[in-house]
Amino acid sequence: MSFDTNQANLENMDLEEIKGKTNQAFEEDESQERRSCKISESSENTKAKEEPDNAVNIQSDKNDQVSICYEAGPYAGMPKEVLIRYSNQLRYRLPREIIFWLILAATIVLIACTITVIALSPKCLDWWQASPIYQIYPRSFKDSDGNGIGDLNGITENLDYFVYLNIKAIWLSPVYKSPMKDFGYDVEDFEEIDPIFGTMEEFDNLLEAVHDRGLKLIMDFIPNHTSDKHRWFQLSRNRTGKYTDYYIWVDCKHELNKTTNPNNWVSLFGYSAWQFDEVRGQCYLHQFLKEQPDLNYRNVDVQEEMKNVLRFWLKKGVDGFRVDAVKYLLEAESLRNEPQVNLTQNPNNITSYDELYHDYTTTQVGMHDIVRDWQHVLQEFSKEPGRYRFLMTESYDNEEIYKTMMYYGTSIQQEADFPFNFYLIDLYKEMSGNGVFKIVDYWMRNMPAGKWPNWVVGNHDNSRIAFRVGAKYIKLINMLLLTLPGTPTTYYGEELGMENINLNNFFKWLKFLPILFQTANRDPQRSPMQWDSSDNAGFSTANKTWLPVHPNYVTVNVEVEKEQQNSTLTLYRELSFLRRNALPIHRGWMCYIWNDADIFAYVRELDGLSSVFLIVLNFGNSSEVNLASKISYLPKEANVRLSTDINKIGNKVQTASIITSAGEGLVLEYKTNNPVHTKAEFKDRCYISQKACYLNSFDILYKNC
């Protein structure tokens, strides 16, 4: 064909037919490659059949043969139009929709299960419930600078000790700036660290190091009084502005160096609770030392000042407070004389605190409102997850336990998370199985339902366990402390079995100074912490420490006892871990099953969990008790999980014949599906604070059981 002919043909082509055409001379026609064609003999047969879904071209020729071209099926890189055509076909659409609805249904079920688990799960124990609280007396814990007095850096250097003990909460006795008339409980500045202990920067470093280890720091809060060196008192005695009524000032007669006191109120340290001030010309109230004037909490400015003190430390990150001497916050405005204990005693001869009933100087109306306000301040800082701020109160109320229980608050108004329970400190008054039972039951019976118990066996104001009840009972009392329900509090060194030091010669001259003697008389239980067998028990490199180290430090110290399997420290540590890991002890029921002159025995169990712990403690003489005869459904045999006698650990004990010697304790474990707390005869002898049940199939706790 000539060039002219081709040119003519092009000119005759319909322009619409070539519109949008591109040169594809070097491109493969994918549509052709993805098709296969089949020739049928008759178009009639073909027309009788339904056109296939994937038929893309059907043509008939002059011989009535039909050519049908099919797509080869979905393929990678197919254009959008082809993808849409296939995706709408039933065989592709149906599986896709089934998968979609299955995923949706599974998501709904998962969400429903999650909501159900959350709704049915008991409240997790908070940090102040899950761990023992360890009291540090900073003067005596560790000296880092060689001056013979413990300090903040010394505590920071030894924080790993608490990790070793599985203790998560540390309570720090006062480190505020103070003249130290009452060893820090006379505060000169609530927002400064006393140079004896270090600097504010060192406190911040301590707090950071505490939190880095997952620990919590509780501080002493001393709201009842200040030091007479405090700026507020100096302004108040000069009647300066709003500070005029920051303290309790009363007119009194003072002539010839003799004061006629406003009433018969007596200080806790003895003699009148009133002190005449030459500057102001009035008497001020001090329920403790005369250098510790009481604040006036009927003044709203004072209340706000103390709330700001809390905020100052909370902003730094402090995790909680122990409120000191809380029941003394308010006094009766009437200033009435307090009733005498002995009505025949000459009123002019009353000098001792115990000679009066303190109806007008303790637990006054309005005092609990102040505590609730402090709790509200802490709640301001408790909104961040995992940063709950804790509040505990100190109040010795003796036989008036109902007063102590009021610090728990109500179901509507919370006050303290718990008030300190000091009743076990008086264990020496009736050292027997029955005596211990009475003390434990006294608290549990009077505690409001659903509240959390706590137990204290020693502190800086009371002699050590070994002095009060004897060294052979130290392990036993630690076992009691760490297996009872609730939060145990340990005073530094009790985990080692430290003992009081003898200060009779050191302080013998103080007998001529009665008030100072009573203050110093608390020091035997405040001797330096015994870390190792080196000089000064590893507490300090100084030539002389602020108090003498106990002579037994060579054998009673952290370093030595860590290496001894039968040591007081080793048993304490194992009990601490058992308390954390064993659910029945961690948060389960407690049921008293036996008590007599020698033995106090109780079980710790949890609904749904077959593992039960039976604790048998001997506070008297050697004894053999047949618990199987007391409880018919008790298993015949139990394993010794822990014991004050290391040789018995791992042994089996017959519950019909449990033999213990004086000061011996056993933590027995057995399996049962017949828990004690479900039995009618033990209804009034079983307690639980936050009920939880164990679901073995899912290994979870739930509360509706």
List active site positions: 324, 394
Which residues, at least 6 apart from 63, have a Cβ–Cβ distance to it below 8 Å? none
- Three-point CA angle 25, 31, 37, nearest 5°: 115
Helix (H, G, I), strand (E, B) or coil at 402: helix
The CA distance from 625 to 545, in Å, is 48
List the structure tokens of 38: 């089949």
CA 682-688-690 angle, 5° bins: 155
d(CA 650, CA 697): 28
Which run of H or E residues covers position 668? strand 665-671
**How is residue 263 annotated by DSSP?**
S
User: What is the rounded distance in angstroms from the CA atom of residue 362 to the CA atom of residue 366?
Assistant: 11
What single-letter DSSP state applies at residue 537? G
Three-state DSSP class for 155?
A: helix
Collect all residues with Cβ–Cβ distance below 8 Å to 596 and sequence separation of at least 6: 433, 434, 623, 625
Contact of 677 with 589, CB cutoff 8 Å: yes
Helices 300-316 and 367-380, axial angle in degrees (round to 10): 30
List of residues 6+ apart from 426 with CB closer than 8 A:
439
Burial (Cβ within 10 Å: 0-12, 13-18, ≥19) of residue 508: exposed
CB 587 within 8 A of CB 421: no
Of 583, 575, 538, 532, the closest CA to residue 700 belongs to: 583
- How many C-beta atoms surround the C-beta of residue 703 within 10 A? 14
